[in-house]
Amino acid sequence: MPRRIIMCFSVLFLFLIGSVNGAATPAVLQKDDDHVSHAAFRHPVIIIDAGHGGIDGGTSADDLLEKNINLAISQKMYLMLKSKGYAVVLNRNGDYALSDDNTWLKSRSRHLKDLAQRKALSEELPSEIIVSIHINWSKKEKSHGPVVLHQREGKSYMLAESIQSSLNTMYQTDRQVEWGKPFYLLNYVKKPAVIVEAGFISNLQDREMLRSSRGQKKIAEAISAGIIYYLSVL
């Protein structure tokens, strides 16, 4: 049910973009969707990729599942950016696997179908940047703090630096961005994309931040601030 809503939104969204860029009539721009249409026209489209979902829980610790934290942070980011007038799309708005929506890729790998579906959505929409939200894990319990992974490309690097800097300030850490060489999304998405590892679920302090709604809000605010700064200097 939720993913049907997302798809409906995608179609509506594409309609609005098409109206703005193509033969837009004043009636379209001046009706109820005026705010959305203008936002889509003035600002680039930000895709928030909420990592994992459904059968794919991602990493975990205690009763905490990465997929749920990713979704909570992503939903908060969506509302924050939308409230500031940015055109933003969230690709998962509930607990389900995006691989279930992928009926076009002939592969037995659910994991590959999931990732390919995320990539396809970034191409279906007039996306400017893709920000994928994940949580880290390490066997070293002391490993902590945010790490932003980038493509081997300048804009992705700049976006990663901006988000990393904002998260470092919030976490009071000094971690560096990394090239996400092995990651499908970073290799195959053509627009600037980053993977935000928003903290370590294996670290006690990070875990308390990731678990609480207040902590998730702080993380969402820091990532959103990094995105806004990147867009303002581009």
51 interacts with Zn ion by CB under 5 A: yes
Judged by CB under 5 A, which of 18, 57, 58, 94 binds Zn ion? 58
Question: Closer CB to Zn ion, residue 76 or residue 134?
Answer: 134
Would you say 53 and 71 are in contact if contact means Cβ atoms under 8 Å apart?
yes
Question: Closer CB to Zn ion, residue 159 or residue 195?
Answer: 195
Per-residue DSSP letters for 48-107? EEE--BTTB--SEETTEEHHHHHHHHHHHHHHHHHHTT-EEEES--SS--GGGG--S---
CB environment 94-127: b (16+ within 10 A), e (fewer)? ebbbbbebbeeeeeeeeeebbbbbbbbbbeebbb
In whole angstroms, the minimum distance from the beta carbon of 150 to Zn ion comes to 16
Judged by CB under 5 A, which of 3, 92, 119, 134 binds Zn ion? 134
180 interacts with Zn ion by CB under 5 A: no
CB-neighbour burial class of residue 10 (10 A; exposed 0-12, middle 13-18, buried 19+): middle
92 interacts with Zn ion by CB under 5 A: no
Q: How many residues bind Zn ion (CB under 5 A)?
A: 3
**What residue is closest to Zn ion based on CB?**
134
In whole angstroms, the minimum distance from the beta carbon of 66 to Zn ion comes to 5
In whole angstroms, the minimum distance from the beta carbon of 134 to Zn ion comes to 3
Q: Which residues bind Zn ion (CB under 5 A)?
A: 51, 58, 134
